[in-house]
Amino acid sequence: MAVEGGCSALSLWELLIEPGSSTRLVPLINVSLVLLLVALLVVYYYFQSVHIVIMGALAIGLLASVNWWVVTYRDMVFMKYMCDWGWLWVRSKGYG
């Protein structure tokens, strides 16, 4: 059982197997992708292969796309709450 406000291995496992996507996983994804990039830099230092550069570019693209999705999702949720609260009526009437 997870401690309130803490993070245990069980709560992380429950988060990973929970259906649907969660923005709570984004920091973990970011850390793992940055560690992958560091590992690719070390491997590139020893082998100087174009394949390592391509894998690094793919990792950077994945990192950018995950963070773009999070920003878009948060904007969408924010706009939904703004509409629900009636804050966007001026814009919808053409006054703003």
What is the pLDDT confidence band of residue 7, given thresholds at 50, 70 and 90? low
pLDDT digits (tens, 9 = 90+) for 55-95: 999 999 999 999 999 888 888 887 777 777 666 555 555 54
Angle between helices 50-85 and 26-47 (to 10 degrees): 160
pLDDT tens column, 9-38: 667 777 777 777 667 788 889 999 999 999
Longest Cα separation, the chain: 62
Find out whether 38 and 56 touch, Cβ atoms under 8 Å.
no
Count of CB atoms situated within 10 Å of the CB of 69? 13
C-alpha to C-alpha distance for 32 and 94, rounded to whole angstroms: 45
